[in-house]
Amino acid sequence: MARHDITSVEVDRTSHVEVEFEDGVTARFELAPLRLACPCAECNARRQRDEPASAAVADGGPISIVDAEFSGNWGLRLDWSDGHSTGIYAWTTLRRWADES
């Protein structure tokens, strides 16, 4: 899988995460879909059981980012207002999602 270098990341705690890749592609990720797509093992297991990663978000409840930090050069870790904080969003995954949108 190709490595994607990042030139900027903007985190709006109540709205979105925006990532700009070195080739000029900019992707904006709204928070609710981003939370529901959490790549951690716990959320993957929930989705395999046909359960949402976050029941509150799936039911239309509000979600926000409490904290965000880089996970080395690998990706972005987000702490969510629903108490979840184990998902690391890899740059390669975010780029794939950007290309698919």
Per-residue model confidence as pLDDT tens digits over 31-77: 999 999 999 999 999 999 999 898 888 888 899 999 999 998 899 99
User: Residue 12 sits in a domain of what CATH number?
Assistant: 3.30.2020.30
Domain of residue 72 covers: 6-100
Q: Is residue 46 part of a domain?
A: yes
**Assigned token pair, 9:** 């990341």
pLDDT at 2 over 70: no
Count of structural domains within the chain: 1
- How far is 48 from 31, CA to CA, in rounded Å? 21
CA-to-CA separations, 56 to 26, 27, 52, 64, in angstroms, rounded: 29, 25, 9, 12
Q: What is the pTM of this model?
A: 0.89
Residue whose token pair is 């949402």: 52
Contact 9, 19 (CB under 8 A): yes
* 79 sits in which H/E element: strand 75-80
Residue 1 is assigned to a structural domain of this protein: no
Pick 2 or 99 by higher pLDDT.
99
